[in-house]
């Protein structure tokens, strides 16, 4: 795919409006519940081989946001070609589990982060769609409540990014790919987005009306691609970011981060209209050459009608997920409870706030 024309907003446009910054406690829960008023909210969790943590994430989100508060209408796990028990564990905890391989394979192709996010938007029912990673050890309702706040209370906000403190470093900021690649390239090519604390955060969301108009970059370039495209579509005034507190999750090796950084760079160059070699070949000592193509999936709104799903009402059942959970034996459910407890105790042991020792505690009680 040849690079498209430059799409940069002018420097004056980039400075014309600041990006609003909030804290997850800024809006009282009762006010947020009242503000939901007819909106349908979907929380999507892309997961590849996350059986150890995905059950804990689903359990916490469903228990407090679906069952107790009614702020979320569905929790979807998009199982991205897992080889472990990710799907079974998530279904047993009440998630609507969708196999990525079954969602528009003729368009999306194989697995990847951008592909999983695009597929989850396609199957979700909500007019507000949020995403949350599957490997958060200290998951709590704040991760979703914080994102929902601006979307439910400010009609001018169309897209929200989360940011958080990483206990390993003791400060607010991004990971290594963010600090060494994404942030410098944003400062150079997209300075109007420089105030975004964590541009690659996996906790974000927006209004379907906007999201369906945007292409999704394949692989790990999707977060930066969406951020750039959203700013072009609605301006920085339509974006908010929210402090979600602390976040404990798995840290990846440099072997994993190099290919991710390459795709982030490809995305930035392509969005800025800067020519680059596509595919790009990453050469690293001690590793075979790694070839990465830049590609993107089309806006869902551009798909022919035959690909657009009929969306059931918010309270509709999903027999497939129910049957998946019903097929599990008592021993299976015991195993899920063990995994849930292990994930929860791991978060508590790391010093994460809000997990505690009880499944009945949440950092944001009503």
Kindly report, residue by residue over 1-55, the tens digit of the pLDDT.
444 544 444 333 444 348 999 999 999 999 999 999 999 999 999 999 999 999 9
How confident is the model at residue 120, as a pLDDT?
A: 98
Determine, yes or no, domain membership for 52: yes
**Looking at residues 232-255, what average pLDDT do you find?**
85
CA 177/CA 208 separation, integer angstroms: 28
Determine, yes or no, domain membership for 6: no
Evaluate whether 31 touches 250 at the Cβ level (below 8 Å). no
Determine, yes or no, domain membership for 35: yes
153 burial (CB, 10 Å; 0-12 / 13-18 / 19+) is middle
Determine, yes or no, domain membership for 5: no
For residue 222, give its domain range. Answer: 11-349
- Is the pLDDT at 347 greater than 80? The verdict is no
Into how many domains does the chain fold? 1
Determine, yes or no, domain membership for 354: no
Determine, yes or no, domain membership for 361: no
For CA atoms 322, 326, 328, 332, the dihedral sign is positive
Determine, yes or no, domain membership for 2: no
Determine, yes or no, domain membership for 117: yes
- Measure the N-to-C terminal CA separation of the chain; round to a whole number of Å: 50
Kindly report, residue by residue over 283-311, the tens digit of the pLDDT.
999 999 999 999 999 999 999 988 888 76
| CATH number of the domain that residue 54 is part of | 3.90.550.10
Kindly report, residue by residue over 48-75, the tens digit of the pLDDT.
999 999 999 999 999 999 999 999 999 9
């Amino acid at each position: 795919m040849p690079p498209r024309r430059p799409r940069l907003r002018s420097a004056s446009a980039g400075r014309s409006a600041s990006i609003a910054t909030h804290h997850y406690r800024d809006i009282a829960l009762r006010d947020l519940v009242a503000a939901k008023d007819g909106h349908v909210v979907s929380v999507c969790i892309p997961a590849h081989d996350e059986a150890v943590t995905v059950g804990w994430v689903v359990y916490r989100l469903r228990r407090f946001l679906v069952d107790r508060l009614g702020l979320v209408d569905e929790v979807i796990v998009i199982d991205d070609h897992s080889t472990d028990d990710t799907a079974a564990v998530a279904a047993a905890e009440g998630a609507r589990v969708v196999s990525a391989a079954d969602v528009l394979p003729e368009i999306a192709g194989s697995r990847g982060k951008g592909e999983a996010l695009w597929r989850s938007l396609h199957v979700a029912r909500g007019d507000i769609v949020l995403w949350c990673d599957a490997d958060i050890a200290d998951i709590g309702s704040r991760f979703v409540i914080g994102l929902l706040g601006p979307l439910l209370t400010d009609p001018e906000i169309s897209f929200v990014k989360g940011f958080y403190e990483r206990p390993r470093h003791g400060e607010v900021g991004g990971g290594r790919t963010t600090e060494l690649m994404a942030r410098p390239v944003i400062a150079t090519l997209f300075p109007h987005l420089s105030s975004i604390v964590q541009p690659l955060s996996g906790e974000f969301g927006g209004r379907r009306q906007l999201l369906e108009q945007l292409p999704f970059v394949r692989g790990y370039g999707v977060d930066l691609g969406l951020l750039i495209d959203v700013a072009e579509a609605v301006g920085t005034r339509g974006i908010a970011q929210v402090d979600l507190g602390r976040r404990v999750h798995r840290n990846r090796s440099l072997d994993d981060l190099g290919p991710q950084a390459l795709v982030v760079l490809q995305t930035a160059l392509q969005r800025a209209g800067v020519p680059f070699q596509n595919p790009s070949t990453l050469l690293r000592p001690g590793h075979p050459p790694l070839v990465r193509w830049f590609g993107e999936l089309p806006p869902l709104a551009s798909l022919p009608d035959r690909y657009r799903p009929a969306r059931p009402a918010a309270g509709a059942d999903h027999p497939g997920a129910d049957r998946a959970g019903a097929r599990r034996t008592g021993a299976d459910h015991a195993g899920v409870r063990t995994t849930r407890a292990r994930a929860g105790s791991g978060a508590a042991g790391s010093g994460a706030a809000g997990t505690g020792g009880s499944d009945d505690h949440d950092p944001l009680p009503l």
